Amino acid sequence: MSVPGAHLCVDLASSAVAAIAWRDGIYVPILFDGKPTIAPAGVLGANGFGTVVPDGGHAGAPSDHTAELLCHVAAVAGTQVGPISSTTFVIAPQWGPRRRSQLTQAAQRAGLPAPAMVTAPAALVAHVTAHQPSLHDGACVLVCETEVRPPRLTVLQGSGGAWHDLATRTIPAAHIDDVLAHQLQSSPAEQHPRSAAQGEPEDDANRQVRESVRQARVLLATQERAPVLLPHPRPPAVITRGDVHAAAQPLTEQLPGAVAELLDTADVDAAHLAMVVAADTGGAPELPAQLVAATGVQPVIVNHPHAAASGALTLTATPRAAVSARLPRTRLRIRDLAAALIIGACTLALFLQAILTADVTTIGIRIIGARTSLPQLGTAAALAVMTALAVAQLAPTTWLAGPPTSPADEPTTAALIRRSYLAAAALGTTTAAFLGLAAGTSLGVDYTPHLTWALTTAAPVGANAILVALVAPRIPAANLPAWLGRARPLILPIILAAVGMLLMRAAVTLTPPADLIPAPGLVGSAGAAMLGAATALTATDHRSLRVITLPALGLGYAIVFTGATSAALIIGYCLAVVGWAIRLTTYTTRLAFPAATAKLRRLLDGPTAQPQEQLPGRDESDRDAAR
The pLDDT assigned to 338 comes to 81
CA distance 530 to 329: 37
Q: Is 621 left (phi over 0), alpha (psi -120 to 50) or beta?
A: beta
Q: What is the pLDDT of residues 232-243, one digit of tens each?
A: 777 888 888 788
The pLDDT assigned to 41 comes to 42
Q: Cis (ω within 30 of 0) for the bond into 235?
A: no
Question: Is the predicted pLDDT of residue 405 greater than 50, yes or no?
Answer: no
Mean pLDDT within 130-141 = 76
85 contact partners, CB below 8 Å, separation of at least 6: 3, 4, 5, 6, 7, 113
Q: How confident is the model at residue 597 (pLDDT cuts 50, 70, 90)?
A: low
Starting at the edge strand that comes first in sequence, how are the strands of the sheet with 140-145 ordered?
Answer: 162-170, 152-159, 140-145, 273-279, 300-302
Q: What mean pLDDT, rounded, does the chain reach?
A: 79
Range with the lowest mean pLDDT among 119-128, 146-155, 520-529? 146-155
Domains and CATH numbers, the chain: 6-174+247-316 (3.30.420.40), 334-402+410-515+573-599 (no CATH)
The pLDDT assigned to 581 comes to 94
Question: Is the predicted pLDDT of residue 256 greater than 80, yes or no?
Answer: yes
* 391 φ, ψ (degrees, to nearest 5): -70, -40
* 321 φ, ψ (degrees, to nearest 5): -70, 160
Helices (H) and strands (E) in the chain, counts: 20, 15
Question: Is the predicted pLDDT of residue 204 greater than 80, yes or no?
Answer: no
C-alpha distances (whole Å) from 550 to each of 93, 497, 544, 562, 612 are 61, 13, 10, 20, 40
Question: Is the predicted pLDDT of residue 565 greater than 90, yes or no?
Answer: yes
The DSSP bridge partners found for residue 154 are 143, 168
CA distance 474 to 193: 66
Mean pLDDT within 69-89 = 89
* 372 φ, ψ (degrees, to nearest 5): -145, 180
Q: Which amino acid is at 248?
A: A
The pLDDT assigned to 23 comes to 80
Question: Is the predicted pLDDT of residue 281 greater than 80, yes or no?
Answer: no
Q: Which helix (H) or strand (E) segment is 143 a member of? A: strand 140-145
pTM recorded for the entire structure? 0.51
CA distance 493 to 499: 10
564 contact partners, CB below 8 Å, separation of at least 6: none
CA dihedral angle for residue 589, residue 594, residue 595, residue 596, rounded to 10 degrees: 20
Q: Which is more confidently placed, 445 or 45?
A: 445
10 Å CB burial of residue 265 (0-12, 13-18, 19+) is middle
Q: Which of 443, 423, 382 is nearest to 581 (CA)?
A: 382
C-alpha distances (whole Å) from 473 to each of 85, 332, 404, 477, 479 are 26, 20, 20, 9, 11
**52-61, 79-88, 333-342: which has the highest mean pLDDT?**
79-88
Q: What is the pLDDT of residues 439-453, one digit of tens each?
A: 989 988 889 999 999
Task: Report strand pairing: 366-371 vs 359-363.
Answer: antiparallel
How many CB atoms neighbour CB 359 within 10 A? Answer: 9
Q: How confident is the model at residue 515 (pLDDT cuts 50, 70, 90)?
A: confident
The pLDDT assigned to 152 comes to 87
Q: Which helix (H) or strand (E) segment is 159 a member of? A: strand 152-159
Question: Is the predicted pLDDT of residue 358 greater than 80, yes or no?
Answer: yes
**259-263, 434-438, 590-594: which has the highest mean pLDDT?**
434-438
Mean pLDDT within 112-122 = 89
Q: Looking at residue 331, what DSSP letter applies?
A: -
Q: How confident is the model at residue 478 (pLDDT cuts 50, 70, 90)?
A: low
Question: Is the predicted pLDDT of residue 610 greater than 90, yes or no?
Answer: no
The pLDDT assigned to 184 comes to 81
Task: Report strand pairing: 140-145 vs 237-240.
Answer: unpaired
Q: Do 326 and 409 meet the contact criterion of CB atoms below 8 Å apart?
A: no
**Percent of the chain scored above 70 by pLDDT?**
78
The pLDDT assigned to 396 comes to 63
* 363 φ, ψ (degrees, to nearest 5): -125, 105
CA distance 362 to 369: 7
Distance of CA 6 to the CA centre of its chain: 11
The pLDDT assigned to 296 comes to 87
Extract the runs of DSSP E, i.e. beta strands, from 197-305: 225-228, 237-240, 273-279, 300-302
Q: Which is more confidently placed, 33 or 332?
A: 33
Measured over the CA atoms of residue 464, residue 470, residue 471 and residue 476, the dihedral's sign is: positive
Q: Looking at residue 188, what DSSP letter applies?
A: G
Q: Cis (ω within 30 of 0) for the bond into 513?
A: yes
Range with the lowest mean pLDDT among 163-177, 373-387, 395-409, 474-488? 395-409
Q: What is the pLDDT of residues 306-322, one digit of tens each?
A: 888 888 888 887 554 44
419 contact partners, CB below 8 Å, separation of at least 6: 469
Q: Do 179 and 228 meet the contact criterion of CB atoms below 8 Å apart?
A: no
